[in-house]
A and B are shown apart, each in its own frame.
Chain A
């Protein structure tokens, strides 16, 4: 590994370990017993030889949603942040989304940017884990902030950094699995819609099966 990237990776690993993050390859994971989790991953760019450029993606995972994509034995579970219900690409020191390392001081600053963001946001992110209602409340709050920011931008005609909420939500997935967790097959079916057959390979079918499983467990 490039020494600058190694320095950045190690600084991040040391800095995140006290909060329960474990690194595997480019992915730092903090998981609860149900597979819900917070993930940071380093995504290398297609930079040329010698250049060290990458993105840092943050994500929140919903255990049952991840298991829809990958079974428990699938080695790709180690790189599952792509299947989260909330995703956010961190911003580098210069305001760009792409981190670029040129020297040791730059690697240190990049690590500090990521650690500062993570420490500031960890309480919020941890509050979402396994708590569907908290996530849906955050979806609503973020939606309202986005509406306000949009209105302000239209009124002022100028971009104001920091007004827009971080990250992208997959609200319907959260609702599907919230209702499934409750064993509410009817609510899941209503969300899917009755006018079409459920694709057996779809997240809809997975959520429906999970709802039926949870309903059986609750009756038992």
Chain B
């Protein structure tokens, strides 16, 4: 059984994710792994008090920076929302093929426009790596999420 729950990517600098009001309000503990540029990636677990769209908007508003919130299903796929403080929003999946299988007739394709939107959202990034990352599953240890973030330029901190 894989990971199911919320994952966020937010630019908070020295501030822990759960020191943000919108994360604290979810009653979770999440320091968030610090990445280059003050980005943090945090796994919040299962929570029915919010949604990826609402959380991404809350994060962008509170941090005044772009933010992503995604709902991961059993480490296999994710529905994600990237919110920009300007109000531009990009909805996409990680591993759209699996989402298509799971959703059946309710499936709504999102990824055809996602790469361009996410490059705009991030103000840069590696188009080919991003397209490849969107096709991967989040993975049991979040490897797919980290690869996705790195394609947007949100890489790990260099060794101290």
Q: Are A1 and B25 in contact (CB under 8 A)?
A: yes
A79: Cβ under 8 A from any B Cβ? yes
Report, as a range, how many residues of chain A touch the other chain: 10 to 19
Query: Which A residues, 25 to 78, have Cβ-Cβ distances below 8 Å to chain B?
Result: 25-27, 42, 44, 46, 48-49, 75-76, 78
Distance A49 CA – B27 CA, assembled complex (angstroms): 16
Q: Are A26 and B27 in contact (CB under 8 A)?
A: yes
Q: Are A25 and B28 in contact (CB under 8 A)?
A: yes
B56-97 vs A, CB cutoff 8 Å, 1 = contact: the mask equals 000000000000000000000000000000000000000000
Distance A48 CA – B31 CA, assembled complex (angstroms): 27
B128: Cβ under 8 A from any A Cβ? no
Report, as a range, how many residues of chain B touch the other chain: 10 to 19
Point out residues on A near B: beta carbons under 8 Å: 1-2, 5-6, 9, 24-27, 42, 44, 46, 48-49, 75-76, 78-79
23 A-B residue pairs with Cβ-Cβ distance under 8 Å, sorted by A, are: A1-B25, A1-B27, A1-B49, A2-B49, A5-B27, A6-B25, A24-B18, A25-B18, A25-B24, A25-B27, A25-B28, A25-B29, A25-B30, A26-B28, A26-B29, A42-B27, A44-B27, A46-B46, A48-B48, A49-B48, A75-B29, A76-B29, A79-B29
Point out residues on B near A: beta carbons under 8 Å: 18, 24-32, 46, 48-49
